[in-house]
Amino acid sequence: MSILGAGVVIGFALNLMGWLGNVFLLGPMWQRAFVGATSTDWRDSPWRDLFSLLPDFIYGITVCWLYVALIPRYGASLTTALRASALIAMVGVVTTYFGIANSGLLPWSISAATTLLALVTFVPGAWLVDRLLRPSAQP
């Protein structure tokens, strides 16, 4: 499978796991975070939903690319996939939610919970990266 193809699969998986976690585990926290927030045209548009899906596809493609790039140094393994996933999660997710919370746009509690959820979703994502790309990565 190609890096792009695997990245799209990973992005879909990250979006699905994130949605499940945000709706079923963190739903009440999200509802409390937006009590009294004014509605905007953007917030009520389908474009907001579509744009909210984009980062996980970018993360998925980037994790796949990094995994393949790390194989010559560390070998094709779940550990290598976890390394790639951890780096992308730290750079993409942790810094993003830290900045959002620091700006005051979201309470620290939901930012921390969402960050933790995202980090957890990257673990099965790493497993999937290794499963999808290991055979094609072997010489």
- The pLDDT of 76-92, averaged and rounded, is 94
C-beta of residue 105 within 8 angstroms of C-beta of residue 118: no
Whether residue 9 is contained in a domain is answered as yes
Write the pLDDT tens digit of every residue in 85-122.
999 999 999 898 889 889 988 889 999 999 999 999 99
Whether residue 51 is contained in a domain is answered as yes
For residue 113, how far is the Cα from the chain centroid?
14
Which candidate, 34, 13, 27, places its Cα nearest to that of 105?
Answer: 34
Please give the radius of gyration of the chain, using alpha carbons only, rounded to the nearest integer. Answer: 16
For residue 87, what are the domain limits?
3-27+42-137
Structure tokens at 79: 């550990």
Which residues are CB-neighbours of 58 under 8 A, at least 6 positions away? 11, 92
Going 89 to 94 to 99 to 100, the CA torsion angle's sign is: positive
Domain count, the chain: 1
Whether residue 94 is contained in a domain is answered as yes
* pLDDT reported for residue 135: 65
Whether residue 97 is contained in a domain is answered as yes
Whether residue 93 is contained in a domain is answered as yes
Write the pLDDT tens digit of every residue in 23-73.
999 999 998 888 877 777 777 788 888 888 999 999 999 999 999 999 999
Whether residue 35 is contained in a domain is answered as no
Kindly indicate the confidence band of residue 128, based on its pLDDT and cuts at 50, 70 and 90. very high
Write the pLDDT tens digit of every residue in 6-26.
999 999 999 999 999 999 999
In this predicted structure, the answer to whether residue 137 has a pLDDT above a threshold of 50 is no
Whether residue 34 is contained in a domain is answered as no
Q: Kindly report the pTM of this predicted structure.
A: 0.87
